[in-house]
Chains A and B, each alone.
Chain A
Amino acid sequence: MWNEGPMIWTSDVLILLTSVGIIGVLTHFKKWKWLWDEWLTTVDHKKIGIMYLIAALLMMFRGGVDALLMRTQLAVPNNHLLTAEHYDQIFTTHGTIMILFMAMPFIFAMFNIVVPLQIGARDVAFPYLNAISFWLFFFAALLFNLSFVFGGSPDAGWVSYPPLTELGFDKGPGENFYLLAVQITGIGSIGTGINFLATIFKMRAPGMKLMKMPLFTWSVVAASIVIIAAFPALAIALALLLLDRVFGTHFFTMLHGGDPMMFVNLFWIWGHPEVYIVILPAFGIFSEVVATFSKKRIFGYSSMVASLLLISVISYFVWAHHFFTMGAGANVNTFFAVASMMVAIPTGVKVFNWLFTMYRGRVTMSLPMWWTASFVLNFLMGGATGVMLAVAPADYQYHNSYFLIAHFHQTLIGGTVYGLLAGMYYWWPKMFGFKLDKKLGMWAMVLFNIGFYVCFMPQYALGFMGMQRRMYTYPAGMGWGTLNFISTIGAYLMGLGFLFIVIEVIYSIKYGERDLTGDPWNGRTLEWSLPSPAPHYNFAVIPTVTERDYWWELKENNRTHELRPKAETLKSIEMPKNSARPFLMGVAFFFAGFGFVFHWLILGFAALAIVAAIMIHRALEVHDEYAVPVDEILETEAATGRL
């Protein structure tokens, strides 16, 4: 903290000023109680979703600044803006933040905001667990971000391979920050996976058979299955490495029969499925967006469902393609190469179904649709280069080169991030009651999209020219200078695109088109039958579904009044009570993590004891629900003009 040079000092000061500013504003406007009652203790899935969204966008900013620093460093040969060590820390935090603290909370934001509304439920299956999941993520992100001002960031890559990450080679606390933060957020993610699988299987409105579910909900099923199956492997790998580092075991050191390759194996048992965890919900979003804006039902619904589930199972059997060059036998490599290529088949099916849905549809090019269209091109290229990487012998050439960097950014940005942004634009009116401005949004889209190609196309070429990933600088004579410089320009264009999104949000809060109908896009699924934003109990009366795209069918047949509540038949509704414990549990986990990072075992175990105490307190709780009285429901429904 004290000896890290002007860059970190500046950040320290900025962080301090921001914190003081936030505290000042909250105190000035007397908002502490509101913050506590309405947000920090909430168990409402819609609010939790919004908090996930805000956190994800903030983390996208942080990860993006890291990316720009790296690209600035690589813009010209022999650059010494960053030291080697600092560069290592930046690519490690960038990768970790983007995957675990940006993409994951962003998909969870979508799960939370959309799923209960789409299936006609009042909440998720376990609202209290849902709040715990959020606060575990939140405090894990805080712990991770703290590393760069407090003791040093991790610097061994987002994969954190031993033996480099063993105590012998990496003393500093940075690696501990990584292990504990990722562990804590991972626990939260497992909770979310279980929660949403249970929600979708148990809480659907009457009549909504599995094959009548909207495709986004199906994609959440697929993603949740992969979460439940994959995240425990990560938890084990991290826990064993932590034991190695903190308690002196030898799971991954060669001493006493340990084996570092086992970490690599365990890591990718999670790591590969993880990229599908973040892409599957994006597929679901594209399906909703394409159907809505083509005013057609999705082409090949059953094949869409089948391909989602196939992807989630096959993607589980491809993890070894991340270490083709490790020296496993030809049989192993062949098996995993073929399995990897097979994922392309169901993915191709999906792309064709989207295209067939648009074909002969009355397509409206709104912002979500623009992001979807840009995604398709990206994903065709990302898929093609992915199949190239899956050819095991050829991978000996591509392995750890910039070709790989270009490929995975094309799928992660061009697939996941585009999908999540499409989803954000699409459901924004449902969350906040106004649309985001289209003109500013188009600027953001165009800049981001052009920037994307300018940034990553040169990197494919650089990979072929022999440039390796994770290089902090390179000599002048390699012929890499021009392409790297172009790539950096692209990165800045994307940064500019992101700024336009920020401006767009701020502008739209004031001037954005208000959504009074609750159905601004002429949507097809149940969430659009509710006012925007939805009342906290979602549905005054749970609908009985008879068809796929039920809301659309009702509109076609002028039967929408059937979903309106009737004053005579309203009953009071049981809702879960707010609770401070999930938040406090997050705080306790934060201190536990902090304790173990610095080997302060007393703090660590004391904080874990508090976690246990909170759990026992919860177990003894009897009344965790309250009844919303009919009067209040009447009043709320009347205020939105539905009675």
Chain B
Amino acid sequence: MSAQTGTSVQQQTVTPRHKHKSGKYIVGYLLSLVLTGISFSLALTHSMSFQPLIVVLVILAAFQIVVQLFFFMHVTESDGPAYHAMGLVLGLFFTFAIAFMSVWIMGFNSIVS
């Protein structure tokens, strides 16, 4: 966005910029690393049985989404137009479609084996 600061006066649709502290990004980054690390180690060490492991991984993934939204995408600070919310809904829709439909599609595996 930086390139446009000079011209933004003439561009009606540009919303004012927020000041972001870098600290928040670092915390968000660390949190997502930790969450990824936990999922990885759980999967690698086989320390849980399959069904509960899947549940835990899904929960961790949901936390990951929350971290991304709050620490990097600043959902709470938005004062922009309604399409922000629509974009978010569409994104979540796509995400869940991929996850759950993949489970549905790949379900044939358990029947075959």
Query: A residues touching B (Cβ–Cβ < 8 Å)?
Result: 43, 121-123, 125-128, 198, 201-207, 225, 229, 233, 259, 261-262, 265-266, 269, 313, 316-317, 320, 326-329, 332, 542, 573-576, 624-625, 627
Contact = CB atoms under 8 A, between A and B. Distances in A.
Contacts of A123: 3-4
Nearest to A225: B90
| Residue among B12, B13, B98, B111 facing the most chain A CB atoms (10 A cut-off) | B13
17 contacts: A128-B3, A202-B1, A202-B4, A202-B14, A203-B4, A204-B11, A204-B13, A206-B10, A206-B11, A207-B12, A229-B91, A317-B97, A328-B105, A328-B107, A332-B104, A625-B6, A627-B6
Nearest to A200: B13
B2 interface: yes
B109 interface: yes
B97 A316 contact: yes
Given A121-B11, A206-B11, A259 B106 contact: yes
A338 to B, nearest CB: 14
Contacts of B102: 262, 265-266, 269
A320 B107 CA distance: 13
A126 B11 contact: no
A327 B111 CA distance: 10
Nearest to A309: B90
Contact of A203 (B13, B98, B105, B112): B13
Interface in B47-103: 83, 90-91, 94, 97-98, 101-102
A265 B106 contact: yes
B3 to A, nearest CB: 4
A512 B10 CA distance: 37
Among the interface residues B3, B10, B13, B94, which one has the most CB atoms of the partner chain A within 10 A? Answer: B3
Given A201-B83, A542-B7, A265 B1 contact: no
A265 B103 CA distance: 10
A367 to B, nearest CB: 35
Contact of B112 (A128, A316, A327): A327
A229 B112 CA distance: 31
Contact of A542 (B2, B11, B94): B11
A125 B15 CA distance: 13
A488 B90 CA distance: 45
Contacts of B109: 259, 261
Nearest to A320: B105
Q: Which size class do B's interface residues fall under?
A: 20 to 34
Given A203-B14, A225-B90, A122 B2 contact: no
A313 B104 CA distance: 19
Contacts of B108: 326-329, 332
B14 A332 contact: no
B11 A203 contact: yes
Nearest to A199: B4
A625 B3 contact: yes
Contacts of B2: 576, 624-625
A329 B5 contact: no
Interface of B: 1-7, 10-15, 83, 90-91, 94, 97-98, 101-102, 104-109, 111-112
B42 to A, nearest CB: 14
Contacts of B97: 316-317
A125 B94 contact: no
Contacts of B106: 259, 261-262, 265
Contacts of B11: 121, 202-206, 542
A269 B95 CA distance: 11
Given A313-B90, A328-B107, 12 more contacts: A123-B3, A125-B1, A203-B13, A206-B13, A225-B90, A229-B94, A269-B98, A316-B97, A320-B101, A320-B105, A332-B108, A625-B2
Closest 9 CB pairs of A and B: A574-B6, A576-B3, A206-B12, A542-B10, A328-B108, A229-B94, A127-B3, A327-B108, A122-B7
B14 A573 contact: no
A579 to B, nearest CB: 11
Contacts of B13: 201-204, 206
Given A201-B83, A316-B97, A542-B11, A625 B5 contact: yes
A140 B102 CA distance: 30
Contacts of B1: 125-126, 198, 202
A202 B15 CA distance: 8
Nearest to A332: B105
A421 B50 CA distance: 53
A123 B111 CA distance: 54
A313 B83 CA distance: 16
A125 B10 contact: no
A190 to B, nearest CB: 14
* Residue with the greatest number of chain B CB neighbours at <10 A, chosen from A203, A204, A207: A203
A574 B14 contact: no
A328 B98 CA distance: 16
B5 A574 contact: yes
Candidate in B14, B91, B105 with the most chain A CB atoms within 10 angstroms: B105
A326 B105 CA distance: 10
A291 to B, nearest CB: 24
Nearest to A121: B11
A113 B13 CA distance: 22
Nearest to A577: B3
A100 to B, nearest CB: 21
A320 B98 CA distance: 11
A326 B106 CA distance: 10
A625 B7 CA distance: 11
A329 B101 CA distance: 13
Contacts of A313: 90
A229 B3 CA distance: 26
A575 B83 CA distance: 28
Contacts of A576: 2-3
